[in-house]
Structure 1
């Protein structure tokens, strides 16, 4: 008769407890959040070497939320902040209230924010109404990715903002969230009285 002798002691079966799963989940979440923060910081620093800086802004026209085409040329002679964003992008949504305040405070001095939503028209319209956005937004959908590249966004990140001076030159780009403090510094440096 063939048989096998059982090893002694019996091998312990390793169990995967809920506590271990929770610890792994928390560690993964912290790593992801920390990675996003580091990537955002590095992106903000890298834009100083953007080849779009100093270039004349590319021309384009796109529909607003009412389907009416708007042309970037209509803002010639103004200090313009183009902001590429989407409703599914948390940092994009986070910076918009500051942009609303900046438009309220400095719009009378020839400053204009223009949103470029890389998103679905219905989602954009609902978000604009919900948050009370006070500046024009064009719905560029997926074509906005190529448009953002023409404005120096080779990394393909959102949010992405571009400051265009009154002569139509790109003077500042930022990948990632633009703080209200930094935006005010830029406006002041380009003739806006704070």
Structure 2
């Protein structure tokens, strides 16, 4: 009895064709995976911030959910995580508890977190009734979306988070959902 790598009833040319097909499909799958990763990296790429945008932020004021006005200049002088989000954005909603926990853990050390909602006021108010947050939330509207673009979010993706150092300069930025690892790294960098 002889043992062969070719299945009974399959000639060697069919086996070679099957092998080539598998190799081609593997190569095509790898190429598609690399293309997808490249597209994701391009979409999540943070552009350079416009030179005047950090100052424009500190000169701005936003309406809070309760109708009060928040002057951004009042937040200058301590590290700030500014998070652009919306109630209709699943990754935004998923990262809010993480941001809230970060704020609770680090506010005594001078850290600030501010949620800038790119959403309708009624939606934000309703959302915050279901999921209260300890950090302040303000309403960004179209001005908030433009500010986000000026800070390097040229595609307008959400969530978008910017960390400002105590001197008001941009320290870190990320388009997409933050992780605990991101926040640990950012905290240690200041």
Band of TM-score, shorter chain: 0.7 to 0.9
For 1:120 and 1:84, the matched residues in 2 are separated by 13
> More displaced, 179-188 or 110-119?
179-188
Unaligned runs of 5+ in 2: 1-35
Unaligned runs of 5+ in 1: 1-34
Question: In the alignment, what sits opposite 2:138?
Answer: 138
- Contact 2:53–2:150 at 8 Å: present in 1 too? no
Cα offsets for 1:162-191 (capped at 9, x unmatched): 00000000111111111122111101111x
1:168 partner SS = coil
Cα offsets for 1:43-94 (capped at 9, x unmatched): 44x22x5345997442310100011111111111110000000000011001
TM-score (norm 1): 0.72
Cα offsets for 1:17-66 (capped at 9, x unmatched): xxxxxxxxxxxxxxxxxx7x97655544x22x534599744231010001
In terms of fraction of residues, the more helix-rich structure is 2
- Contact 1:86–1:117 at 8 Å: present in 2 too? yes
Question: In the alignment, what sits opposite 1:29?
Answer: none
Flag as ranges the 4+ runs of structure 1 deviating above 2 A. Answer: 37-44, 49-59
1:142 partner SS = helix
Matches within 5 A, 1:79-98: 79-98=79-98
TM-score (norm 2): 0.73
- Contact 1:55–1:169 at 8 Å: present in 2 too? no
Q: How many positions carry a matched residue from both structures? A: 155
Matches within 5 A, 1:140-179: 140-179=140-179
Distance 1:157 1:183, change over 3 A: same
